[in-house]
Structure 1
Amino acid sequence: MTTKTKTLVANRARGTALVLAASAFFATSGPLAKPAMTAGLTPQQVVSVRISLAAVLLAVGVAVLRPRFLRVGKRDWRVIIGFGLLGVAGAQTMYFAAVSRLPVGIAMLLEFTAPLLVALWVRFVRKTILPAKAWAGTAVAVFGLAMVAQVWDGLRLDAIGVLAGVASAICAACYFLVGEHGLATMHPLTIATYGLLVGAVILCAVAPPWTLPVEVLAAPTPLGPVWTLLVAVAVLSTVVAYSVGMSALRLLPSNVVSVLSLAEPVIATTVAWALLDEQLSVIQIMGGIALLAGAFVVQRASHPLAGQELPPRPDDTSGLATGSLTTPGKT
């Protein structure tokens, strides 16, 4: 095995681990946010606090620890605004809009058709030929997601809800595609920080976090006071999740990352079962297995595409303590 091949294999393994880690952190948002919403907060209020607090924490952290990552070129701003508008604010807002008019399972299925949109973009816009196994694996993964979400449970259609769900899928696809494009010139922390800041500005206009009722923030829940859950969602489900997710896109192509990210609803369902005593049916378990199997097939089938290292910036030569944000291929 040549040195280049070893590097590709190592990058693919590291990228896969980062995607699954990001999915796990993203998946904690539902179980952590649900008790807060039960206590009296609306979904819009929760997501506004989540993104706004995360943006402030990440911006302060990067400014103190890695201030050079806050330097961006003039051309980068178009990518940053697009990422924040679509990949952050758009995906969050449209998903909750879909949930408000459709069963959660249907809304989740619509949003997580994003891997199909990414694959279509890569195939017909970038003119990249994808292996047949990649298409088959994506289809199996989406079918598994339908089983996990149990889309037939309380099935009803609402035109506005369906449009919102489709919009959430388009925005989620933009998260992968625009994020991947931005990483050609920016560090993962750069695009994550500014993307969250842009998203926070937009979401604050929809649901200003400073208008939250103080009595609800102090209300107790089975997992602790509401305010502690909001902090946990901001730190774990947002700051860490977005940073690790952007790092994964430096090591794997967007079509692979998008399919592997389908592990998120499986992990979320498992976490909800562990923390909130929500039951898992046999069909959901089988669907989770099918979803992960499909994602594995895509990851293996896309091996020739995986591990394509994006060119690092001159200032991108040192990683953080976690080791997940180091320059690919360097020790």
Structure 2
Amino acid sequence: MTTELPVLAPPRAAHRGRGTTYVLLAALFFSTSGTLGKSVMTAGITPEQVAAVRIGLAAFVLLAGVALVAPRKLRVRRAELPVLAGYGLLGVAGVQLLYFVAAGRLPVGIAILVEFVSPVLIALWVRFVRRHRLPGPVWAGIGLAMAGLALVAQVWDGVTLDGLGLLAGLGAALCSAGYFLLGERAVAGIDPLGLVTWGMVIGAVAISFVAPPWTWPAGLLGAHVEFGAWLPPVWLLLTLLVLVATVLAYVCGISALRHLPASVASVLGLVEPVITTVAAWVLLGEELAWPQLLGSAILLTGAYVVQRKWDVLVG
């Protein structure tokens, strides 16, 4: 999942240290989704089913928890329903589904890196749809990100990556950009925790059309799969995927934005693909060639430059 988060201005009583801790925890929790999900897929569960289980159970946990502890946060005005629906369809269902399709066909580290092209797409939306002029460093960042993506894909070899996996990763980046832009608009009138909860619920309903609950392979939950040096059961990995990589990750991410501006939080969030790549190497044995490692660094540098200028883009 993408770690891109909606804009939320921090209150006066913000604590930068606390916000930094939250955003780093969110990046750490989000980074586990690729390795957990791909290990589950080795048991025979499809990417669509993994995404459906992740979103559906996370929606249940969040809705039950918020309804019991803070039901007022679930209040939504009728006028806010269209943007909330778009947020759930693109930012939750679209991102998670396409990311798992990409991770099933590409190394996990590359799948998450391709998704981090989303700041570039946001910048282009701001330039050509909102008609804001972009400063020179933003164009430089876009150029770096595209050059890095070309190295990651090794285009000189006719694109050595799986074509469908690469398209799914770019689709996840597009949905992640939509998540950010729609979230920026929605959070102005909807409580962030309520936004995440209803986004999960809408996403769960949408993805149920792709992978209905009655098609989930319950018989595989007890199967054991390789996860680094361990052989845990599928049900344990799915539990971690739902509670750690989804619920805790989203809650920490939203909490971070109570204390940090989105521009700072998004830059700190760039540690996510780094952690994801290292985890995939250690737990799944997925090594990248040196041009791909170089391209990863260039892509992240470009995304960093674009995100550092986010305040200018949305001003």
Same fold? TM cut 0.5: yes
Q: How does 1:163-312 map to 2 (within 5 A)?
A: 166-223=170-227, 224-247=232-255, 251-252=260-261, 263-302=271-310
**% identical aligned pairs:** 54
Which residue is 2:82 aligned to? 78
Kept in 2, the 8 Å contact 1:36–1:229? The answer is yes
In terms of mean alpha carbon deviation, does 42-51 or 118-127 score higher? 118-127
- Aligned with 1:75: secondary structure? helix
Measured in 2, the distance between the counterparts of 1:190 and 1:210 equals: 28
Q: CA deviation at 1:207?
A: 0.9
For residues 232 and 188 of structure 1, do their structure 2 counterparts lie closer, same or farther at Cα, with a shift above 3 Å needed? same
User: What is the identity, as a one-letter code, of the residue corresponding to 2:144?
Assistant: V
Q: CA deviation at 1:156?
A: 6.3
Kept in 2, the 8 Å contact 1:130–1:302? The answer is no
For residues 160 and 113 of structure 1, do their structure 2 counterparts lie closer, same or farther at Cα, with a shift above 3 Å needed? same
Kept in 2, the 8 Å contact 1:12–1:252? The answer is no
Kept in 2, the 8 Å contact 1:37–1:46? The answer is yes
Kept in 1, the 8 Å contact 2:153–2:160? The answer is no
In terms of mean alpha carbon deviation, does 117-126 or 56-65 score higher? 117-126
Deviation digits for residues 290-319 of structure 1, max 9, x if unmatched? 34433443444456679x9xxxxxxxxxxx
Q: CA deviation at 1:185?
A: 1.1
For residues 263 and 202 of structure 1, do their structure 2 counterparts lie closer, same or farther at Cα, with a shift above 3 Å needed? same
User: What is the identity, as a one-letter code, of the residue corresponding to 2:274?
Assistant: V
Measured in 2, the distance between the counterparts of 1:260 and 1:266 equals: 11
Deviation digits for residues 259-313 of structure 1, max 9, x if unmatched? 765554332111112223333443344334334433443444456679x9xxxxx
Q: CA deviation at 1:192?
A: 0.6
Kept in 1, the 8 Å contact 2:119–2:306? The answer is no
Measured in 2, the distance between the counterparts of 1:147 and 1:260 equals: 24
Q: Does 1:54 align with 2:62?
A: no
Kept in 2, the 8 Å contact 1:116–1:138? The answer is yes
Choose the corresponding residue for 1:68, options 60, 69, 72. 72
Q: CA deviation at 1:208?
A: 2.0
Q: CA deviation at 1:15?
A: 6.6
User: What is the identity, as a one-letter code, of the residue corresponding to 1:182?
Assistant: A
Measured in 1, the distance between the counterparts of 2:134 and 2:19 equals: 19
In terms of mean alpha carbon deviation, does 278-287 or 142-151 score higher? 142-151
For residues 303 and 99 of structure 1, do their structure 2 counterparts lie closer, same or farther at Cα, with a shift above 3 Å needed? closer
Kept in 2, the 8 Å contact 1:141–1:262? The answer is no
In terms of mean alpha carbon deviation, does 37-46 or 296-305 score higher? 296-305
- Aligned with 1:242: secondary structure? helix
In terms of mean alpha carbon deviation, does 240-249 or 219-228 score higher? 240-249
Which residue is 1:322 aligned to? none
Measured in 2, the distance between the counterparts of 1:253 and 1:142 equals: 23
TM-score w.r.t. structure 2 length?
Answer: 0.77
Q: CA deviation at 1:27?
A: 2.0
Kept in 1, the 8 Å contact 2:108–2:277? The answer is no
Q: CA deviation at 1:182?
A: 0.7
Q: CA deviation at 1:170?
A: 2.6
For residues 165 and 282 of structure 1, do their structure 2 counterparts lie closer, same or farther at Cα, with a shift above 3 Å needed? closer
Measured in 2, the distance between the counterparts of 1:244 and 1:203 equals: 24
Q: CA deviation at 1:217?
A: 0.3
TM-score w.r.t. structure 1 length?
Answer: 0.74
Deviation digits for residues 50-70 of structure 1, max 9, x if unmatched? 000111111112122222211
Structure 1 unaligned spans of 5+: 1-5, 309-331
Measured in 2, the distance between the counterparts of 1:305 and 1:247 equals: 23
- Aligned with 2:297: secondary structure? helix
The count of aligned residue pairs is: 300
User: What is the identity, as a one-letter code, of the residue corresponding to 1:183?
Assistant: V
Q: CA deviation at 1:179?
A: 0.9
Which residue is 2:7 aligned to? none
Which residue is 1:35 aligned to? 39
For residues 270 and 166 of structure 1, do their structure 2 counterparts lie closer, same or farther at Cα, with a shift above 3 Å needed? closer
* Larger RCO, structures 1/2 (Cα 8 Å, 6+ apart): 2
Measured in 2, the distance between the counterparts of 1:133 and 1:61 equals: 43
Measured in 1, the distance between the counterparts of 2:138 and 2:132 equals: 12
User: What is the identity, as a one-letter code, of the residue corresponding to 1:290?
Assistant: I
Measured in 1, the distance between the counterparts of 2:127 and 2:144 equals: 19
Measured in 2, the distance between the counterparts of 1:226 and 1:16 equals: 33
Aligned-residue Cα RMSD (Å) equals 3.8
